[in-house]
Structure 1
């Protein structure tokens, strides 16, 4: 909601409403209720023409002293013209805003998509950076070989069946690591 209709309450006296006489938009907007005095109840109402194309999340609002509340108004369709009614003090003061909702521009929030997105990506050609990456991972390969030698050495001392299982596990780990390195 990029646009805001500023509404000042209690600025020039209790229940006083200060709001622009008209407001134009082509999308959802918010009504900013700025209370400059004592706590107050504010009622917002969209007339029939506006309520056909827009909606309020809530109509009755309690605004604390010296605070501001933003009330979203969601525009579903357009164009339309109508009145937004702002009431304070349970009818003590009433103000009307002529709201003009222009036709919603579908291009405004759209994301342009060109035809290149429909084509599959090609795998990049191997380069020197791939070779340097492989060179950086040589210590990992050496560590895997050392782990394999260690497992075989333990197998000689303990049990060949256990060593065989450990060697297979290490080989699978080296294979998976190698796959991810060259992928």
Structure 2
């Protein structure tokens, strides 16, 4: 999850400890990235969460030194999965040893529900179509005789080729048509011989 950026300007247009924020309120279920942007002079900045917000969020450190023209990121972890209803609290940024402060109202909302993903989602859910009567007959014949489906398909194709060659030879007649029929029959016989081996 990418954090939500909240910028606080430190000493912008002033040498004193002046703090300005771009937002007054934040609503999130994600981590917050507090960005302390230094300007004119360096400053010590203290960040803290009030006790309500401290139950669902945490800051790694509380004291930061902000250099001029530098950016100091302050990551704030948020545990939105642990709550069932929104939690409202305050993020306070204090500068100048307590002389200046700015508060941001933060509402942590419950995170999206966890979705358990198991391995069954990777398997396709398509159902196999019902086999046609011809497919069932061929499958049954293949199981009965032990001959592979591919061999049965080649035999069927060979018989169709012989049937077409016979019909052509009978229609046309003559020695050339009979020779063509003989070539087709020999080709099918050779193919079957190679398959059965």
Task: Please give the range of the TM-score, normalised by the shorter of the 2 chains.
Answer: 0.5 to 0.7
Residue pair 2:35, 2:71 contacting (<8 A) in 1 also = yes
TM-score (norm 2): 0.54
Q: Over residues 16-66 of structure 1, what are the superposed CA-to-partner deviations in whole Å (9 max), with x where a residue is unaligned?
A: 111121111111111000011211100001000000011000000011111
Alpha-carbon distance, 1:3 to partner: 0.7
User: After superposition, what is the alpha-carbon deviation per residue over 1:126-170, rounded to whole angstroms, capped at 9, x for unaligned?
Assistant: xxxxxxxxxxxxxxxxxxxxxxxxxxxxxxxxxxxxxxxxxxxxx
| Aligned residue in 2 for 1:101 | 108
Larger radius of gyration: 2
Alpha-carbon separation, structure 2, partners of 1:116 and 1:24:
34
What is the rounded CA distance, in whole Å, between the counterparts of 2:36 and 2:103 in structure 1? 14
Shift of 1:106: 3.2
1:1-183 → structure 2 map (5 Å cutoff): 1-13=2-14, 14-19=16-21, 20-77=23-80, 78=83, 79-107=86-114, 115-117=120-122
Aligned-residue CA RMSD (Å): 2.1
CA distance in 2, matches of 1:30, 1:3: 6
**1:113 Cα offset (Å):** 5.5
CA contact (8 A) 2:13 2:40 kept: no
Gaps of 5+ in 2: 125-197
| Aligned 8 A contact 2:10 2:17 in 1 | yes
Distance 2:76 2:123 in 1: 37
Gaps of 5+ in 1: 120-183
How many positions carry a matched residue from both structures?
117
So what's the TM-score if we normalise by structure 1? 0.58
**Structure 1 residue 15 displacement after superposition:** 1.0
Deviations 1:66-110, CA, capped at 9 Å, x for gaps = 101110000123431000111001111011110011111135xx6
